[in-house]
């Protein structure tokens, strides 16, 4: 007869678990050339996905961190491609700066126009967003067509994002859309390859909001 397993519940406090997780990530990641702020973003992405390969594939434009922090502290809008990204982003920190998170993929007019034009709702949602908001942070974690359309609008002089977080996941156009993003001379955070997803977009925005919130902190704590 199999003996029952003597299961002991975990009693570590949530903050202790997070601190231990970040320490493990820093140790296993090893040496790197990233700045403290850049590694804070990568660390959050790895923490959200437990995927070091994905974390090492992250590419940050030289102005990305500064652009993200400045946009958040200025109360600029954050535009998500899907509700999953919108829901996952931590609102209390952003609210302190007057930032709102918007998503338009489920708007009735977007659905109507997409059906009539026979294109994805993600494309129409990006077009609508760029008409509604000047600047802002675009966080795209799900739809490669949203990222490709946003890139097209930027090239056409119809969109002026402060920062593009372009990390869509998938087998069709996901990697290609990120390669196109790398060609833009505006701040971006992306990763190479098929991996990505809403949790990556969420982790990136949350890391930037933490950096914005802790701006001026001289405690020396490397975990944000």
Rg value, the chain, Cα: 19
Q: Give the residues across from 164 on adjacent strands.
A: 138, 188
Q: Does residue 218 have a pLDDT over 50?
A: no
Q: Whole-model pTM? A: 0.88
pLDDT band at 22 (very low <50, low <70, confident <90, very high): confident
Q: Which of 47, 61, 102, 104 is catalytic?
A: 47
Encode pLDDT of 77-86 as tens digits: 999 999 999 9
Write down the pLDDT at residue 215: 78
Candidates 3.30.390.30, 3.40.50.970, 3.40.50.10230, 3.30.70.20; CATH matching 36-213: 3.40.50.10230
Encode pLDDT of 43-65 as tens digits: 999 999 999 999 999 999 999 99
Q: Distance between CA atoms of 76 and 170, rounded to whole angstroms?
A: 29
Question: Could you tell me which of 200, 135, 131 has the C-alpha nearest to residue 169?
Answer: 200
Phi and psi at residue 189, in whole multiples of 5°?
Answer: -130, 125
Encode pLDDT of 25-40 as tens digits: 999 999 999 999 999 9
Question: Is position 32 annotated as part of the catalytic site?
Answer: no
Write down the pLDDT at residue 174: 93
**Average pLDDT for residues 82-97, to the nearest whole number?**
94
């Amino acid at each position: 007869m199999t003996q029952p397993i003597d299961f002991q519940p975990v009693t570590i406090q949530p903050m202790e678990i997070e601190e231990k997780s970040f320490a493990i990530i820093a140790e296993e990641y090893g040496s790197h050339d990233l700045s403290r702020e850049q590694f804070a973003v990568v660390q959050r992405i790895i923490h959200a996905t437990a995927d070091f390969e994905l974390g090492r594939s992250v590419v940050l434009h030289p102005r990305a961190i500064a652009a993200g922090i400045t946009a958040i502290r200025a109360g600029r809008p954050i535009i998500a491609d899907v509700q999953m990204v919108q829901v996952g982003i931590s609102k209390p920190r952003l609210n302190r700066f007057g930032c709102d998170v918007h998503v338009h993929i489920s708007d009735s007019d977007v659905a109507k126009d997409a059906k009539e034009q026979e294109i994805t709702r993600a494309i129409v949602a990006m077009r609508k967003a760029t008409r509604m908001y000047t600047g802002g942070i675009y966080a795209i974690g799900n739809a490669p067509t949203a990222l490709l359309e946003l890139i097209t609008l930027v090239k056409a002089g119809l969109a002026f994002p402060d920062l593009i977080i372009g990390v869509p996941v998938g087998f069709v156009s996901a990697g290609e859309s990120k390669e196109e993003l790398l060609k833009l001379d505006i701040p971006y955070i992306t990763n190479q390859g098929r991996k990505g997803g809403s949790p990556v977009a969420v982790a990136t925005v949350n890391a930037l909001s933490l950096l914005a919130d802790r701006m001026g902190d001289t405690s020396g704590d490397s975990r944000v």
